[in-house]
């Protein structure tokens, strides 16, 4: 093949070089299109990430409210149960005391008229001491229960704060990228 057949008559550029240049230009256009598509995809992912972050924050807020509500309900139930127990125990102690007192009064009334006054005072003191001990136990149980609830709530709150802090750090890292 002659040189005149492989070269353009007007510009003098080889057809082979011209063909390669045209191929590279086409390839460049394709790569630019792909780059634009990747940029759009990255933008969409960024928007989705922000939406997910908002959803996560809303979820955490709702979760915190639910935890607080559950703790309040548990505390109310526990308080009501303890009050009911206290009333039941007071009623049982009162009934027991009254029955005991009545029996002793009838038995001793005939034989021990003089001893009744002293004996009755002793029984009252014993009952008061027993009631005091029982009330102290109940107060200690209430204190322990309240401390346990407070410890559980404090631990849960600390974990939630740590999780929130970790998520904020991750978010800040993602923003800086």
With vertex at residue 24, the alpha carbon angle to CA 19 and CA 26, rounded to the nearest 5 degrees, is: 95
pLDDT 10s digits, 45-87: 999 999 999 999 999 999 999 999 999 999 999 999 999 999 9
Whether residue 18 is predicted with pLDDT greater than 90 in this model: the reply is no
Helix ranges restricted to H, 112-176: 116-176
What are the extents of the domains in the chain? 3-176
With vertex at residue 112, the alpha carbon angle to CA 106 and CA 118, rounded to the nearest 5 degrees, is: 95
Q: Mean of the pLDDT values across residues 140-165?
A: 90
In this prediction, residue 155 carries a pLDDT of: 93
The span from the CA of 146 to the CA of 140, in Å, is 10
Whether residue 3 is predicted with pLDDT greater than 80 in this model: the reply is no
Whether residue 91 is predicted with pLDDT greater than 90 in this model: the reply is yes
């Amino acid at each position: 093949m002659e040189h005149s057949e492989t070269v353009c008559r007007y510009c003098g550029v080889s057809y082979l070089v011209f063909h390669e240049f045209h191929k590279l230009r086409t390839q460049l256009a394709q790569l630019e299109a792909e780059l634009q598509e990747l940029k759009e995809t990255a933008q969409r992912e960024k928007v989705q990430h922000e939406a997910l972050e908002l959803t996560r924050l809303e979820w955490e807020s709702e979760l915190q409210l639910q935890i607080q509500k559950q703790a309040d309900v548990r505390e109310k139930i526990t308080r009501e149960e303890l009050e009911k127990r206290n009333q039941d125990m007071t009623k049982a102690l009162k009934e027991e005391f009254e029955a005991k007192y009545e029996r002793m009064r009838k038995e001793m009334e005939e034989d021990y008229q003089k001893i009744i006054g002293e004996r009755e005072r002793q029984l009252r003191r014993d009952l008061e001491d027993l009631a005091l001990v029982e009330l102290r136990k109940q107060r200690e149980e209430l204190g322990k229960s309240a401390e346990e609830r407070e410890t559980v709530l404090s631990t849960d709150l600390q974990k939630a704060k740590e999780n929130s802090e970790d998520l904020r750090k991750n978010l800040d890292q993602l923003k800086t990228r």
